[in-house]
Each structure stands twice: as C-alpha cells, then as structure tokens.
Amino acid sequence: MHIAFRYRLLLPLITALLLIVGYPLGFSFWVSLQDYRLTAIEGATWIGIEHYIALLRNNSFWTALRNTLVFVATAVSLELLLGLSLAMLLHRRTTLGRNFFRSILLTPMFITPIAVGLMFRFLLNSQLGVITKLTEAIGLRIDWFSAQNALLTLALIDVWQWTPFMLLLLLAGLEALPEEPFEAARVDGASAWQSFWHLTLPMLRPTLLAAIVIRMLDAFKVYEYVYAITRGGPGESTETIQYHIYRVGFLYYRLGEASAMAYVLIAVILVLVVTLFYSLRRA
Amino acid sequence: MRKFYRELPPLALLLVALVVVIFPYVWTLLTSLKPEAAINRPLDWNFTPTLAHWQRVLLESNIPLQVRNSALVGLFTVGIALLLGAPAAYAFSRFRAGGSSLRFIILAAQMLPPAVLIVPFFLIMYNLKLLDSIWAVVATHLTFALPLVTWFLIGFLDDVPRDLEEQAMIDGCTQWQAFYKVILPTIRPGLGAAALFAFILSWNDLFYALLLTGKESATLPVGIAGFWTFRGIEMGQMSAAIILAILPVTIASFFVQKYLVRGLGGGALKG
C-alpha cells in the first residue's frame, strides 16, 4: 500500500518526461542515422554513422564548438569574479542599502535574452549607439562587433545578464557559512584578506562548484545574443554551437546532420562537466 | 565618522554596478519615448517625448496578440508542471522514491541543450499537425518547467515536519488527503515561487517558440526578434515592445528572489 502510493505520485511525472524528453531523445538519435532533410521528410534514407564520420572533417562544426568554449570560459570566469566580489560587498553587515542593491542588481537574470541582445545591439551600434558615442567622446574608438571583438562582446553581454545568477548563489552560500571560524580568526589577528583566502574560499567550495557547473551548462546554450546581433558573423567568428545546429537544421534543412551534431554536443558537455567536477573536487 | 568613511568605497563600487545594470533599461525606455529623428542623435537631449511608438505597438501591431500567446503558453506550462510536479516532489521528499539518482536524472533533463530536442520536436509536431500552435510550444517548455518545478518543490517539502501528515492521518485522512489538504497548503509560498519562476522561463524563451510558431501563435520574444529586420527603422517600437516584455518579469522577480535559492538548491546546496 505504501509502495503503491509513492509510485502513484511519481507515475504522471515520469510518464510525461518519457514522452517529452525520453522519446524525442531516442527519435533524435534515429534521425541522426538517416539522411533526413526538411525538404524531403518522407524520403529519408538510412545511412548509419555517416553523419558522425563526416563531422570529424567538418571545420565549421569544430569552429562553432571552439567559439562556444571560448565564449563559455570567458563569460563564466568573469561572472565568477564579479559575482563573488559583489557577493562579498553585499554580505558585509555594515553595507548601506543591501536589500535595495541586491534586488536591483539581480534583475538582469530574469529578462528575456533576446531583449538583452537587442538592447546591447542598439547601445553598441557604430552609428546610433550611445555607448559607442560616449567612448568616442573620451577618445576611444571601439568597433564592438568586428571579427576580433564580436565574440568577446557577446561574452560581456552574457556577463551583464548572468553575473546576477552567480551573485544570487554565492551570496546565499556566504550567508549559510558558520560565524565561529571567522570570529576565531579575528581574535587571532588574521587580516580580512587572510580570512577570505583561508576560510571563506575553502568553505564556499561546494557552492562555487555548483554555481560554475550550472552557469557553464547554461552558457553552452547561448543562442539569443547571436541571433539578435551577429547571426554568426563576421565570417564564422561568433558562430556558436547552438546557433550552428539551428543553421544546419533549419536554414540548410539538414535535420539528420543537425541531430548528429547535437549528440556530439551532449558528449562534449558530459566529458567537460565530469572532468571539471573531479578536478575541482580533488583540488 | 571614521566608520562612515570606511563605508564609502564599497558603496561607490555598488553604485557603479547599479548604473551598469540600470542604464540599458533607462536608455531603452527613453528610446521608446523619443521621436524618430532624436533616436538617430543619441547624445542630443533636446527632444519632445512622444507616445507614438507606444501607440503603434499597442494598437496597430501584432504585439498584443503575442503578449496573449506568451501568457497562455506560460499559464498552461505552469499549470501542467504544478499538477504533475507537486505529487512527484512529495514522493521524492517523503518516501525517497527512486533514490537520489532518479532526482538527478530529472535535473539533468532540465540541463539538456534545446538544440538536442528541437529537431525531434519539430518533426513530431509536424506529424501531429501542431506546428504554428501554442501547444507545440507548451510541450517544449514543459521539458524545462517540469524538472524545475519538481526540483523546486522538493526543497520546500523537505522543510515540512513529518508530524503534520501523521497527525492528519490519525484524524482520519487518507495519505492522499493528507498530502493535498494538509501539506500542500503549508508550502503555498513555495508553490507560488515555483509557478512564478517557471512562468518567467517560459515567457522568456525564444529558441523553441521561434521554430515552432507561425504568425498566429508567435510569442512575445519572437515578435521582438522580428523588429530589427527593418534595419533599425523601427527602433522606437522595438524599445516599447522590449519594455513591455521585461517590465512584468522584473516586477515578478522582486517576489521570487527571496525563495529562489531555497528552491534551486533542492537540498543540493545545503551540504
């Protein structure tokens, strides 16, 4: 009776997830083994692992993957640095207006990324952009969306939107730390820097790890900023993996190939997360 | 007094952060109120505010329809997610059903890149003749809303003392009644926060909606994404539409922030 009840509670969710996640995942793998085209959905032919073999020599795919890794590494490390600094500032008991700052500083993570992308496209536009005009006024001419800068600019936009998420998690982590070790350190004459380095950071490690992994997984999905601003250009300089899969599947109509790319992406992410998890755990 | 001076550097840093965060909002709001000519001269402050862009957006564009579609998609997504997620979260929290591995499999589903699911969803919806309907979008949004709501509620249910349902069952409730008459009402804030957060995520999605909707079923992010095709000419209207998209979620965020960490943790961030 007891057993029956708990599984009756679970059954609807499990069924739904099998239907909307499990089935599509399996279906997607089946599609990746065929020459599936949007222009000829009925006429797909079985080709086995040919798409996967072709991917090995597909330069655009690896460029997109490399761009995404650069984007993720840049954005997430800056977000970590800024998020931790802001969290430390807001954690201080004596800081004025903590709640006010906190609630405003957190807002960017709640708004739709396409709006963020378009706002910054406008702000950084070479003719209409107020930020461009302001930096020109102090003698700095920056072409934000040139082939060299565009990917970095997109990463900075990500930093604007997602540092709040780091701040949210790290601030909660700081608030959950016990007080005693810090008081003991103060009595022993430790400086603020020493207690940060030897107490705060080690004790905060689980939260840091969780925040980094969650943010990385999310940053891998970057799509909206690319769609809103650069559409992968100039050249292939901002072609990210999610955008590339969208392009191959829905602009070039090659659904089979796009599915194969998606599966390679899952494998790459899995390897990365597992590596990161174990190396950070041991450190 | 010395204490006061020591507070100045952190305050200055926070003010800088505040300006960086607020500036894009303010500028977009200003742009939505500027006449066309003034938009082309960003540093010129001599302009007469106009409501023309807002009028066009609210009365003559597809934006109101898209707002309605977004709201409907969000409501259906949240409704279904709560209906299926709350009982499951209860099973996870109270009976350790499936152990921790099943919990994490469900969480992993939430982390899947949308690029993985979009191809099969597109084909499934094509076969079901559901392309260009909000139902296709609801189904895809459930892929992240279901795990999120479940995970969220586990965190809240873990904090409810077990005595509550034991007492209810002594008083003659069945297990099921104890759950929905006694336990669910005690986590009302958690239900509210989970619903609000799932709604925000659904409201914000572009990727799925862009590929699965058409003219009639387009959601607000899809509508906003369509403005720049006019080579910047519709800047004012786009700004108004952006404000329309971000204002409700920003207000909602003030209510949800407090509960977010507790929910997101789902027990994972506690240890």
Q: Flag whether B250 is in a domain.
A: yes
Of the candidates A264, A271, A283, A267, the one whose C-alpha atom is nearest the C-alpha of residue A55 is: A264
Nearest C-alpha neighbor of A173 from the set B271, B114, B93: B271
- Taking the Cβ of residue B39 and every Cβ of chain A, the question of whether any pair is shorter than 8 Å is answered with yes
User: Domain range holding B66?
Assistant: 62-225+238-265
pLDDT at A76: 97
Query: How confident is the model at residue B76, as a pLDDT?
Result: 97
Q: Single out the residue of B251, B87, B63, B76 nearest to residue B154, CA to CA.
A: B87
Q: Predicted ipTM?
A: 0.90
Length of chain B: 271
Alpha helices in chain B (DSSP H): 2-33, 36-39, 52-55, 63-95, 99-111, 114-127, 134-157, 163-170, 175-177, 184-186, 188-204, 207-212, 220-225, 235-265
Most B CBs within 10 A among A5, A100, A112, hence the mutation to make, goes to: A112
The burial of A187, by beta-carbon neighbours within 10 Å (0-12 exposed, 13-18 middle, 19 or more buried), is given as: exposed
- Write down the pLDDT at residue B255: 87
Average pLDDT (B147-168) is 87
Q: Is some CB atom of chain A closer than 8 A to the CB atom of B233?
A: no
Q: Touching check for B31 and chain A: CB below 8 Å?
A: yes
Position B270 scores a pLDDT of 42
CB contact under 8 A, A111 and B150: no
Tell me how far apart the alpha carbons of residues B82 and B87 are, in angstroms, rounded to a whole number.
Answer: 8
Residue B124: pLDDT over 60? yes
Q: Which residues of A touch B204 (CB under 8 A)?
A: 110-113
Asked if residue B86 belongs to a domain, the reply is yes
Q: By the CB < 8 Å criterion, does B113 face chain A? A: yes
- Cβ-based contacts of B113 with chain A (< 8 Å): 220-221, 242, 262, 265-266, 269
Instruction: Note whether residue B5 is domain-resident.
Output: no
Separation in Å, CA of A13 to nearest CA in chain B: 5
Chain A residues touching B2 at Cβ < 8 A: none
B106 vs A111: which has the higher pLDDT? A111
Q: How would you write chain A as a 3-class SS string? A: CHHHHHHHHHHHHHHHHHHHHHHHHHHHHHHHCECCEHHHHHHCCECCCHHHHHHHCCHHHHHHHHHHHHHHHHHHHHHHHHHHHHHHHHHCCCCCCHHHHHHHHCHHHHCCHHHHHHHHHHHCCCCCCHHHHHHHHCCCCCCCCCCCCHHHHHHHHHHHHHHHHHHHHHHHHHHCCCCHHHHHHHHCCCCHHHHHHHHHHHHCHHHHHHHHHHHHHHHCCCCHHHHHHHCCCCCCCCCCHHHHHHHHHHHCCEHHHHHHHHHHHHHHHHHHHHHHHHHHHHC
The pLDDT of residue B2: 64
What does the radius of gyration of chain B's CA atoms come to, in whole angstroms? 23
Please state which CATH class domain A60-282 belongs to.
mainly alpha
| pLDDT at A15 (0 to 100) | 93
Cross-chain CB nearest to A113 (options B22, B24, B204): B204
Which of A14, A210, A266 is the closest to B268 by Cβ?
A210
Burial class (CB in 10 A: 0-12, 13-18, 19+), B135: middle
List chain A residues with CB under 8 Å of B238.
118, 122
Position B160 scores a pLDDT of 87
Domain boundaries, chain A: 60-282
pLDDT of residue B4: 73
- Partners of residue B122 in chain A, C-beta under 8 Å: 249-250, 255
The predicted model gives B178-193 an average pLDDT of 89
Give me the amino acid identity at A140.
L
Cβ contact A256:A44 at 8 Å: yes
What is the count of structural domains for chain B?
Answer: 1
pTM of the model: 0.91
Contact A24 B124 (CB under 8 A): yes
Is residue B14 assigned to a domain?
Answer: no
Residue B23 placed within a domain:
no
Q: Is residue B1 part of a domain?
A: no
| A203 contacts on B by Cβ (under 8 Å) | none
Q: Which residues pair with A254 in a beta bridge?
A: A37
Q: With contact defined as beta carbons under 8 Å apart, do B12 and A97 qualify? A: no
Q: What is the pLDDT of residue A193?
A: 87
Other Cβ atoms less than 10 A from the Cβ of A107: the count is 20
* Maximum mean pLDDT: which of B71-75, B160-164, B267-271: B71-75
Distances (CA, A) of B78 to A24, B72, B74, B84, B113: 21, 10, 6, 10, 20
Nearest chain A Cα to B258, which residue?
Answer: A103
Closest approach of B264 to chain A, Cα-based (Å) = 9
Q: Which residues of chain A have pLDDT under 50?
A: 1
Q: Pick the range with the lowest mean pLDDT from A43-52, B125-134, B226-235.
A: B226-235
Q: What gap in Å lies between CA A28 and CA A51, rounded to an integer? A: 13
Q: What is the mean pLDDT of chain B?
A: 87
In a domain, B2, yes or no: no
pLDDT tens profile A238-257 = 999 999 999 999 999 999 99
Between B41 and B67, the more confident residue is B67
Residue B260, domain CATH: 1.10.3720.10
Say yes or no for a CB contact (<8 Å) between B257 and A14. Answer: no
B80 within some domain = yes
